[in-house]
Amino acid sequence: MARTRYAPDRGLTVRMTVTMFLLGLVFVAFVAAIIGILTAVHASGAAIVLVALIFGGGSAIASLFYSDKIALSAAGARVVTPQDEPELHAIVDRLCALADMDKPRVAIAPTRMPNAFATGRNSKNSVLCVTEGLMYHSNLTPEEKEGVLAHELSHVAHKDVQVMTVASLLAIVAGLLVRFAFYSELFGGGRRSSNNNQGGIPVVLIIMAVSVVVYAVSFLLIRVLSRYRELAADRSGALLTGQPSALASALTKVSQGMSRIPNEDLRAAEPLNAFYFAPAMKLTRGGGGGDGGGGGKSLSQLFSTHPSLEKRLEQLAKIQRELGQPTAGGLSAGPGD
């Protein structure tokens, strides 16, 4: 964790550490399984694994070092100066002073969707992006905007891009192995490699099966880790500003604001959902971030990068009680109340 005044959350830290440990175990088991397979088959399998490792490692490194440029390009955002956006820069300056952290570049994305994101491998190579919808077309107060930006700057302070890049490496390699093994089998590589193993299963099919399982497990663990980090950012942002109610109000308004955004605009923004303050999707009755009801809600949350709106509001209400501040009825209630 970076040395800032953002408050750590020991409970969430423990859970995130356990999740990373489980990902490490999956990675060790994956490597052991692949090595075991390759010792008994033709070297073509080793070539598939080597290529997947090279491509996977390369894409992870590129993602880590160029995440800010990639995200800005995907959002169509432009970096702005204090002269361009004095209000936005004033909020960022105050928060960075409170958190004792380097100020990131500040950008504006030309969309009416109310949202924000921050990315970058460290505070010196990061960018904070706010949409025009959040700055100009929402009814957020200055305190609520400050809460949103405090949440996003927490991701930078805690080096979440580094953590998620490392966590995603296993899933990237496993996913590439599935594709490479499939095409190798499709074009006859698996049949050739099975000549030394008459009557056995082609090596590429074995690698595919192992990789699919590893990808599925690592994908779910990464989603769990992502939800923990969003809760940690909520907590850190609320404690930094001392106004959890403002962050909760902003979260509710931003989530509800998605309902007024055309579906095609939300679909265009979905690739950045993991970065956004709130996921770009319609708010449904009784749920946040696209949750449905019953089993659909549980399944949706299982694959979601963000906790449900109710869970986030519940945590913020708890923080407000811990700070000795009175809680309004709307803080712990769902958005439909």
Q: What is the pLDDT of residues 19-44, one digit of tens each?
A: 888 888 888 888 777 777 766 655 55
Bridge partners, residue 55, by sequence: none
Tell me which of 126-130, 187-191, 268-272, 330-334 is least confident. Answer: 330-334
Residue 286's pLDDT is 45
The residue assigned the tokens 């004792």 is 100
What is the band of 203 on the pLDDT scale with cuts at 50, 70, 90?
low
pTM of the model: 0.82
152 included as an active-site residue: yes
The per-residue pLDDT for 115 is 95
Judge whether 231 and 315 are in contact, CB under 8 Å: yes
Looking at 87, 132, 144, 152, which residue is catalytic?
A: 152
Handedness of CA 313, 10, 291, 167 (dihedral sign): positive
d(CA 89, CA 197): 65
pLDDT at 127: 95
Average pLDDT over residues 305-324: 92
The least confident of 53-62, 263-272, 321-330 is 321-330
Task: Give the separation between CA 142 and CA 246, rounded to whole angstroms.
Answer: 9
CA–CA gap between residue 312 and residue 304 (Å, rounded): 13
Residue-wise DSSP of 78-110: EE--TTT-HHHHHHHHHHHHHHT-PPPEEEEE-
Question: In the predicted model, is pLDDT for residue 285 greater than 50?
Answer: no
Q: Is the pLDDT of residue 161 over 90?
A: no
Of 74-88, 91-105, 156-170, 182-196, where does mean pLDDT reach its minimum? 182-196
CB 22 within 8 A of CB 221: yes
Q: What is the mean pLDDT of residues 126-131?
A: 95
Residue 18 pLDDT exceeds 90: no
Confidence of residue 159 (pLDDT cuts 50, 70, 90): confident
DSSP assignment letter at 334 = -
Provide DSSP, 244-311: HHHHHHHHHHHHHHGGGS-HHHHHHHGGGTTTSSS-SS---TT-SSS--SHHHHHHHHHH-SS--HHH
Segment 73-79 shows an average pLDDT of 93
* Strand order, beta sheet including 78-79: 78-79, 105-109, 126-131, 116-120
Distance between CA atoms of residues 167 and 220, nearest Å: 11
Would you state the pLDDT for residue 46? 65
Q: What is the mean pLDDT of residues 138-164?
A: 92
pLDDT band, residue 122 (cuts 50/70/90): confident
